[in-house]
Amino acid sequence: LISSSITSVSSTLSTMSPLLLLLLPSLALCSIKDEERVIAIHEPLALFHKKMHQLDKEIEQSGKLEMDDERQKILKERLEAFSHLSHMDNITHTDVLGVNANSGLINDLYEGDILLTKEQLESLSISSSRARRQAWKPKRFPSNIWGANKDIPVSIDASYPRDGIQVLRDGMRFWNDNTCVRFAEGAQGVNKVKFIYGDGCYSWIGMIGNEQQVSIGRGCGTVGTVTHELGHTIGLYHTQSRYDRDQYVIVNDKNIQNGTAHNFDKETAENTDNYGIPYEYGSNMHYEPFGFAKDRKIPTLVAVSKDYQFSMGGDMPTFYDVLLVNKYYNCFEANCKGVSVSCKNNGVQDVKNCRICRCPTGYTGNDCGRMDPSFEVIPAKDGARVSKSISAGNGKWETATTLSKKSYVIQAPAGKRIELIFTNIDVVFPTGDCSYGGIQIWKNKDTRMNGMRACRKEELAQYYLSDGENVFIKIWNKYAYSNATFTYRSY
C-alpha cells in the first residue's frame, strides 16, 4: 500500500506545473492522505486551465480581437516597419513575462503573472456583467483592499537570498512614500503578505485573506518588478485590459501563442472604472509589446501612436500609476480632507504632505511652479539647427551597480515651440523595456504622461515638434554606454 501510494503521488507530482510544486507544502510521500492532498491542490489549476480554454473560445466566437479595415491598415503598416528594424534580432526581453515563460510558469498564471482566487476566476467571462476594474473592485469592495493608512503586514521568507532583500524593501518604500498604502515589514495581522523566492514573478490581486505570497524570484530582482507585483497586491490589473485600450493598442492576434488569447481580454465601459486616469503606454502595469508572442521579434501589441511602440511598460510606477492608487484607496479623502492646495503645471496634492503638490516630470517646488534643477537647460533659438550629443554610462563592458542618468530640458523663448530631430541613438545592450540603457522624451506640454522611450534611432520618429516651449529628455545606462545626438531650434 505504501509503495503504491508513493508511485501514484510521484506520478502526480511529475505532471504538476512548477507553480504548484512551488506552492505545495512539503510532503511526506507515505500515505493515501498525502496523495489526496496533492490531488486537492491540483484541482484549482485544472479549473484554471478549463476556464482559460473556455474564455479563449468565447473570445474567438465573439470576434473580440477582430479589427476593422482602418485598424488592419495601421497594423500592416506597423508590422512592415518592424521588418526593417535590424536590431530586433539582437533585442533581449527582460520583462516579467519573459522571466515567467523561461520558468515554465506563464501558462499557469492569468495575464502572465497573476494568481486568481476562485471568486476572481469565476468572474472571468466576456458574456457576463463583471465587476473587475483596472483596480479590482468586486461585489465585496472595499473589503478586498487593505485600507488607507493601515499596516499591510509583510514577512520575507527565511530562505530568501540576503542580497535581494533590499530590492524588496525599496519596492515597498516606493508605494509607502507616494500613497496611503503602507507595507509594514514585521507587523502582525491575519491578512498579510509574504515574499518568496519562487521560480518567477507573480502575485495575487488585492487582499485575498490570510497569508498571500508574492514571488520575486530569479530574474525578477529589480525595484520596478517589485512595484509591479505589489501593484497587483494592492489591487491593480494590467493597463492593456482596460475597456478603452483599442483606441491605443492593436492586438496582433496572428502572433499570439495558441491557447493564450484570454490574456488579451478587455473590460467593458459598463462595468469598468478607470478613475479618470488616461491610458498610459509607459505605466508600470502595462505589458511589453511582445507578450505571449509566437515570434518574439514581432509584437503582439501594436501602438496606435507609433511614437510609443517601444514605450510600453515602465521600469517604475508613473505619476498616473500613483494617482490611480491614491484614488482607488481614497487617499485624498483619508489624508487631506479639508486641506486645499493650488498646484501649477498639472501637479496634484501630495497625500503624504497635503499642503504641497506632487509634481510631474520636469517641475518641482511646493506648488510645482519651478523647473526641476536636475534638468540641464539647453536654450533654443530661431534660425539654424544646433547639434547636441548627450551620453550616460561608465564605458565599462559590465553591468553597473547603479544607474547612470542625465536629464535635459530644451527651452524655447516664451510663445515658441521646439523643433527636434534625432540623428543617432546608440545603446550597447537594447532590451524590450530599455532597462539597460535608453532615452526618453517629453514633447507634450502636459508631462504627467510618461514620455516616449527608445533604445535605437529606428524606434523614434525622425522629426518632432513640441506642444509648448519645453522638451524634457532623459538618458540612462547601466551597461557600457548610451549615446544620443539630435538637432534642435525654436520654431
Catalytic residue numbers? 229
Residues 6 or more apart whose Cβ sits within 8 Å of residue 321: 231, 236, 280, 283, 284, 285, 314
Nearest-angstrom CA–CA distance, 86 and 282: 24
Measure the CA angle with vertex 61, ends 59 and 67; round to 5°. Answer: 70
Closest residue by Cα to residue 115 from 33, 9, 204: 204
Cα-Cα end-to-end distance for the chain: 85
Grid cell, residue 197, equals 523566492
Question: Is 232 marked as a binding-site residue?
Answer: yes
Question: Is 228 marked as a binding-site residue?
Answer: yes
DSSP H helical ranges for 197-330: 223-234, 319-328
The DSSP bridge partners found for residue 115 are 204
Neighbouring CB atoms inside 10 A of 77's CB total: 12
Nearest-angstrom CA–CA distance, 317 and 224: 7
Instruction: Lay out the sheet containing 201-204: strands in order across.
Output: 114-115, 201-204, 211-216, 192-196, 151-156, 182-185
Nearest-angstrom CA–CA distance, 285 and 227: 9
Would strands 201-204 and 182-185 be described as parallel, antiparallel, or unpaired?
A: unpaired
Closest residue by Cα to residue 210 from 159, 151, 171, 153: 153
Contact criterion met (CB below 8 Å) for 397 and 468? no
DSSP H helical ranges for 15-132: 18-23, 32-62, 69-82, 96-102, 118-122
Alpha-carbon torsion (19, 23, 26, 32), positive or negative:
negative
Grid cell, residue 447, equals 508631462
Question: Is 84 marked as a binding-site residue?
Answer: no
Nearest-angstrom CA–CA distance, 378 and 367: 24
The DSSP bridge partners found for residue 376 are 408
| Residue given cell 501514484 in the structure block | 8
- Exposure pattern of 464-477 as b/e (b: 16+ CB <10 Å)? bebebbbbbbbbbb
In DSSP notation, 139-205 reads: TTTTTTS--TT-EEEEEE-TTS-GGGHHHHHHHHHHHHHHSS-EEEET---SSEEEEE--SSEEEES
**Residues placed in the known binding site for Zn(2+):** 228, 232, 238
**Residues placed in the known binding site:** 228, 232, 238
